[in-house]
Structures are given as structure tokens and as C-alpha cells.
């Protein structure tokens, strides 16, 4: 299963728009400056790097600005000026419900997914493709294989056995990446996201080579509250420690420069999650005889359970996520403050909408743009200490296997869990989870750690550093941290 690799070209476009949007907000003529963003990015006579003409490029940039303002592109009128939408964004009281939106202007309108016989077909005597097809969908006619698409089930067996690799499977990247079939074309060939099915895993965002699936930003909402003098607290997911070329303590100081009142590690909540989940595992599995228990810290997995596998809910841990406990602590100590979760994934936006203690979510991409907009050089910042110490195990939650490792670190040797790791949610993983729920058993282990993103949170769709470099950087931080039992003792 491939680790998420950010699309550099589309990421660059999104960042440039966010930089311009933030600078516009901090300037003197926000609404007009927002209206001009597509024209300043593609002035008359400039190079058109991606599309057929400058007008098409500007139309797509306009839609990206709409998403960066935090709106549904599908709901915006074509004739409405960006300046008017900018004003509406300023007047907005809370973020929109669903985190993803689609740019029809950027969508390439990919051909439907299907099995296709190419010109490489040799019409061989063996005809393994015919033999492999269980549906009678492929025949050799006039020396070439032909597929009857009314019978074809897109299983791909014919492609697997062709000795010339002459049969290929044409995919639609976003549809192919979605593990729950939440994104598809309608009868008119227009792509839509079915929010009733969507688990906000963000795989379609990463998969689309045209950047047509876009996150709706909440940066403007955060900026507004900081500007009005609200106390806004930044809550950093453990995975952020592998993203930027600075130390964790420099990162805190850099974020304080943006106007945040305080910066805390969500790893402090992860330590609470570890303690609660280990106690729950012992009670339910070791002492209660339950066949297995799944983790509950991945927001996309939690959405999957609620929408697609309700039968496994009885086996899912009831323990809250690290973000849940961190936000609870922040609100308890600062009742009037606003909390902002710094997230590696889209799914945390859905979790935040269901949790009154989390007010806003910002992605690592958006944070990077904010630093650029204010010319904050993170590697040159002084270091600022975190007031609450987190454990090594809590900080390693960001990597696949880290949660199970942290749970075991809290258990006695005789009660150790036997972890089974689901390293990324895809159709196969979902099929396995349904099987475990149906059979009421998991022969592979008794603690199933589920991470929607391959590699864990460091492989999330909002990450900006390469996975290998991020793991290296985070591991250095983890190795310098205290063991969880020392932190609990302190």
C-alpha cells in the first residue's frame, strides 16, 4: 500500500492562493484584493502552464479561492464576485459542515473505469484471457481480443494473465482511491461526492492529479478570531513534529508569532488515550473475554464504523481520541478560549464538527502558507518550552503501530495485547473488518489498530514533508522523550 505523496504542483497552487488570501486579510482592502487573486496569478500575456487558455486557468484559480475562503464551490454562483464571497466569509459565524468540495472546472472528466484491450494484443492461440474470464465477456474476433462491456465485471483477471500485457485496466483516480465508493460520476458525467458515504479520509484529494478535490479552509475563521483579540490555543498533532525544518520548540515559538495565545502538544491527550484504552482492553478482552478490540483514535475509521460497518461498533474502543482529551483539558482550563487542532488529515475536520471543544482545524499545508505569508522563518525562531511533558509513546502515535505500542506500554507483561495492524483503509481492509465483525473473532490478534492512512498520520493527506524524512525527524524527537511510565509518575 503506497504512502501518500503530496502533488507538488497542486500543493504549490493551493499554497500561493492561501498566502495571497492571508496577506489580503491582513492588508487594507481585503475584498478587492481577494477578487484580484486569479488575475494577479495569471496576468494578461503571462504563461499558461496547465490549461488551454488564460481564461480557463483563471476560472480554476477562482474556484480554488472559493474553497480557500471556506465555501462549497458547488453552491457558489458563477456570476458572483469573489469580493462578495470574501465579505460573506467575514460574516460567517461557523465553518461549513462538510470538509471537501469539488472543482468541476479543474476536473478532467476522466473516461469511465473499464478493462481495455490495447493494440499490443497478438490474438495468440493460447487465448488465456478467454479462459480466465468467468463471465464470458472476452472473445477473440478477427485476430484480436474484444470485450463485451455489458458482461465485464472489471475484475481484471484477463489483464493479469495476458502474456503481452496487452490488456489494461483504465481507472478514474479519485474513484479508485476511495475505499467506500463515495465519489463518482452522475448520468451526465459530472463528478460528485456523496457525503452520506464519505468518511473524509482524503484519499481522493491526494489521488486526483488535477487537484479537483479541494479542502475547504478554516484559516480565515481563525484569523478573524485572533484579530478580534480572542484567546486562541493551538493544539499540535504529533505528526506535525516531522513536517517542518525546525525543532519542536522552535515550532511553538513560530506559531506564537502568528498570534496564538498558547501552543500545546496533542500528545498530552494521547497519554490519556493510552491509559484509558489499555484499561479498557484489560477489562474487555483480558478479563471480560471479548475476542478483540479495535482502536478508536483515527477519525476516518470512526466515520467508517458509523456509516459502513456498524456491526463492528461493539468491538471498537470507547476511548476518546488524543484530540478529544487535549481539547477537553484546554476548555476546562480556559473556558473562554478557542481551540484549533493542527491536523495531518481531512477527517479531523469532521471530528471537530462533532466535538464542541474543538472550534477549528488547520492543515499543515495551511500552516506552511501562513508562515510564508508573514515571512516567519521557522528554522530561525528561538525555542519555547512546552509547559506539559508528553511521553515518547504518545509522540509516536503518528506512525503506524504507535498506538498499539503505547497501549502495551501501559499494560503489565501478563496482559500484553497481540496487535494486528491495519495500515491504511482500502477495500481489502474494509472487507477484513467486516469479516472480523461477522465472525466475532480475529485470528490475527486481539487488538486491531486501524489507521486510515498508510504509514499512519505521517502519511495523511494534509502532510507536507516526505514520509521517510518525516519519520526520521519525528523519531529523533521521540528518542529524546521520556517513557510513558515516567510521565505518568511525574
- What is the SS3 assignment for 133? coil
* C-beta atoms surrounding 382 within 10 Å: 9
Task: Using alpha carbons, select from 381, 390, 62 the residue that is nearest to residue 253.
Answer: 381
* Within this chain, domains 8-109+174-217 and 114-170 share the same CATH topology: yes
Distance CA 264, CA 454 (A): 26
Q: Confirm or reject CATH 1.20.200.10 for domain 114-170, answering yes or no.
A: no
Distance of CA 250 to the CA centre of its chain: 25
Q: Residue 50's pLDDT is what?
A: 82
Q: Residue 81's pLDDT is what?
A: 95
* C-beta atoms surrounding 197 within 10 Å: 15
Helix (H) or strand (E) holding 175: helix 173-177
Eight-state DSSP code of residue 113: P
Each of the 490 residues of the chain gets a pLDDT tens digit; together they read 556 555 667 888 999 999 999 999 999 999 999 999 999 999 998 888 888 899 999 999 999 999 999 999 988 888 899 999 999 999 999 898 899 999 998 888 788 888 999 999 999 999 999 999 999 999 999 889 999 999 999 899 999 999 999 999 898 999 999 999 999 988 888 899 999 999 999 999 999 999 999 999 999 999 999 999 999 999 999 999 999 999 999 999 999 999 999 999 999 999 999 999 999 999 999 999 999 999 999 999 999 999 999 999 999 999 999 999 999 999 999 999 999 999 999 999 999 999 999 999 999 999 999 999 999 999 999 999 999 989 999 999 999 999 999 999 999 999 999 999 999 999 999 999 999 999 999 999 999 999 999 999 999 999 999 999 999 999 999 999 988 666 655 5
Q: Residue 185's pLDDT is what?
A: 86
- Please say whether the beta carbons of 434 and 277 come within 8 A: no
Helices (H), 242-388: 248-257, 267-281, 299-307, 322-333, 347-353, 364-373
Q: Residue 477's pLDDT is what?
A: 95
Distance CA 206, CA 462 (A): 9
Q: Residue 5's pLDDT is what?
A: 58
- And the C-alpha cell for 409? 506500554
Q: Residue 111's pLDDT is what?
A: 80
Domain boundaries, the chain: 8-109+174-217, 114-170, 221-489
Number of residues in the chain: 490
Q: Residue 71's pLDDT is what?
A: 96
Q: Confirm or reject CATH 3.30.70.20 for domain 8-109+174-217, answering yes or no.
A: yes
Distance CA 439, CA 81 (A): 56
Q: Residue 3's pLDDT is what?
A: 63
Q: Residue 406's pLDDT is what?
A: 97
* 174: phi then psi, degrees, rounded to nearest 5: -70, -45
Strand order across the beta sheet in which 419-423 lies: 293-294, 447-451, 419-423
Q: What is the pTM of this model?
A: 0.92
Amino acid at each position: 500500500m503506497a504512502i501518500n505523496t503530496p502533488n507538488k504542483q497542486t500543493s504549490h497552487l493551493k499554497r500561493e492562493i492561501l498566502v495571497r488570501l492571508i496577506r489580503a486579510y491582513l492588508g487594507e482592502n481585503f475584498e478587492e484584493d481577494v477578487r484580484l487573486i486569479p488575475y494577479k496569478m495569471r496576468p494578461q500575456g503571462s504563461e499558461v502552464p496547465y490549461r488551454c487558455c488564460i481564461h480557463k486557468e483563471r476560472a480554476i484559480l477562482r474556484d480554488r479561492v472559493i474553497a480557500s475562503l471556506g465555501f462549497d464551490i458547488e453552491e457558489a454562483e458563477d456570476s458572483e464576485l469573489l469580493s462578495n464571497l470574501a465579505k460573506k466569509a467575514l460574516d460567517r459565524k461557523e465553518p461549513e459542515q462538510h470538509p471537501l468540495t469539488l472543482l468541476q472546472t479543474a476536473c478532467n472528466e476522466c473516461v469511465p473505469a473499464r478493462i481495455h484491450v490495447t493494440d499490443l494484443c497478438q490474438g495468440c492461440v493460447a487465448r488465456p484471457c478467454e479462459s480466465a474470464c468467468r463471465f464470458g465477456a472476452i472473445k477473440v474476433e478477427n485476430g484480436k481480443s474484444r470485450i463485451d462491456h455489458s458482461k465485464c465485471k472489471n475484475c481484471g483477471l484477463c489483464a493479469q494473465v495476458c502474456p503481452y500485457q496487452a490488456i489494461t485496466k483504465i481507472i478514474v483516480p479519485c474513484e479508485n482511491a476511495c475505499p467506500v465508493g463515495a465519489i463518482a460520476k452522475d448520468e451526465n458525467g459530472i463528478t460528485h461526492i456523496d457525503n452520506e458515504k464519505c468518511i473524509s479520509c482524503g484519499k481522493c484529494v491526494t489521488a486526483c492529479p488535477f487537484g479537483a478535490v479541494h479542502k475547504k479552509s478554516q484559516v480565515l475563521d481563525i484569523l478573524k478570531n485572533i484579530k478580534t483579540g480572542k484567546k486562541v490555543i493551538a493544539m499540535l498533532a504529533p505528526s506535525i513534529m516531522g513536517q517542518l525544518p525546525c525543532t519542536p520548540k522552535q515550532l511553538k515559538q513560530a506559531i506564537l508569532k502568528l498570534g496564538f495565545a498558547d501552543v500545546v502538544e496533542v500528545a498530552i491527550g494521547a497519554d490519556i488515550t493510552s491509559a484509558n484504552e489499555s484499561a479498557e482492553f484489560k477489562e474487555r478482552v483480558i478479563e471480560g473475554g471479548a475476542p478483540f478490540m479495535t482502536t478508536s483514535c483515527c477519525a476516518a475509521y470512526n466515520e467508517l464504523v458509523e456509516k459502513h460497518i456498524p456491526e463492528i461498533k461493539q468491538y471498537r474502543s470507547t476511548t476518546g481520541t488524543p484530540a478529544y482529551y487535549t481539547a477537553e483539558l484546554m476548555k476546562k482550563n480556559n473556558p473562554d478560549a478557542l481551540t484549533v487542532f493542527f491536523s495531518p488529515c481531512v477527517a479531523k475536520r469532521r471530528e471537530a464538527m462533532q466535538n464542541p471543544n474543538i472550534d477549528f482545524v488547520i492543515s499543515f499545508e495551511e500552516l506552511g502558507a501562513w508562515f510564508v505569508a508573514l515571512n516567519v522563518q521557522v528554522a530561525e525562531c528561538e525555542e519555547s518550552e512546552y509547559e506539559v511533558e508528553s511521553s515518547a509513546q504518545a509522540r509516536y502515535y503518528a506512525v503506524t503501530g504507535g498506538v498499539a505500542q503505547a497501549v502495551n506500554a501501559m499494560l503489565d507483561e501478563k496482559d500484553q495485547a497481540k496487535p494486528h495492524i491495519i495500515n491504511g483503509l482500502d477495500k481489502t481492509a474494509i472487507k477484513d473488518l467486516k469479516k472480523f465483525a461477522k465472525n466475532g473473532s480475529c485470528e490475527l490478534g486481539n487488538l486491531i489498530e486501524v489507521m486510515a492512512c498508510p504509514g499512519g498520520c505521517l502519511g495523511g493527506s494534509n502532510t507536507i514533508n516526505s514520509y521517510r524524512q518525516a519519520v526520521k525527524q519525528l523519531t529523533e524527537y521521540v528518542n529524546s522523550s521520556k517513557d510513558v511510565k515516567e510521565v505518568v509518575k511525574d
